[in-house]
Amino acid sequence: MTSFYSEEELLSIGFKSYGTNVLISRYARFYRPENIIIGDHVRIDDFCILSAGSLIEVGNYVHIACYSSLIGNGNIIISDYCSISGRVSIYSSSDDYSGKYMTNPMVPRNFTNVTDASVVLEKHVIIGCGATILPGVILEEGVAIGAMSLVQMNCKSNMIYTGNPLKRLIPRSKDYKKLETKL
């Protein structure tokens, strides 16, 4: 037995759809898999959690490293050629921390003030280990997010961002586009 699900096992999970050359660890977990679309040439490593409230869409040539989580009621779109390092958390929902409302998913929704907003990673985005992406964020093509960063704002294409608070550092090379055409 390998550490990745077989073709038959992938089919039995119940994904909305999945492509070819999909390598998913037997230790990954999926909630509401009927709302998850997985493209071609995708690898999802050990102890990842994908919990799809409405839709999680993973493009082609995507790697989601160990202990990462994609969670929430908003859409989460991971476009082609994205890399998500270990322990990254992507949230498309968030509780209201003001104290004016109650929190956690076991409390009836009329007592909470949850924000649901789509998160989009455009092509060639790379996210460093331990980073957290909050609801409503768009990471434009080619964005690189440094390790341990808190991302609560949109990021412009081909730039490197890092920190908490998040700061734009320097432009990122666009050489990856040439390599994409060769692939």
Q: Tell me if 2 is assigned to some domain.
A: no
Q: Tell me if 123 is assigned to some domain.
A: yes
pLDDT tens track for 4-58: 999 999 999 999 999 999 999 999 999 999 999 999 999 999 999 999 999 999 9
CATH number of the domain that residue 146 is part of = 2.160.10.10
pLDDT (0 to 100) of residue 73: 96
Question: Which residues lie across from 72 on neighbouring strands?
Answer: 52
Provide the number of structural domains found in the chain: 1
pLDDT tens track for 107-161: 999 999 999 999 999 999 999 999 999 999 999 999 999 999 999 999 999 999 9
pLDDT (0 to 100) of residue 1: 60
Between 21-25, 56-60, 83-87, 179-183, the lowest mean confidence (pLDDT) is in 179-183
Whole-number percent of the chain with pLDDT over 90: 98
Domain span holding position 48: 7-182
pLDDT at 2 over 70: yes
Q: Tell me if 91 is assigned to some domain.
A: yes
CA angle in degrees (0–180, nearest 5) for 116-118-124 = 150
Helix H or strand E encompassing 123: none
DSSP string across 51-115: EESS-EEE-SSEEE-TT-EEEESS-EEE-TT-EE-TT-EEESEE---SSSS--STTS-GGG---E
Could you give phi then psi for residue 120, rounded to 5 degrees?
-125, 125
Q: Tell me if 1 is assigned to some domain.
A: no
Q: Tell me if 133 is assigned to some domain.
A: yes
pLDDT (0 to 100) of residue 102: 97
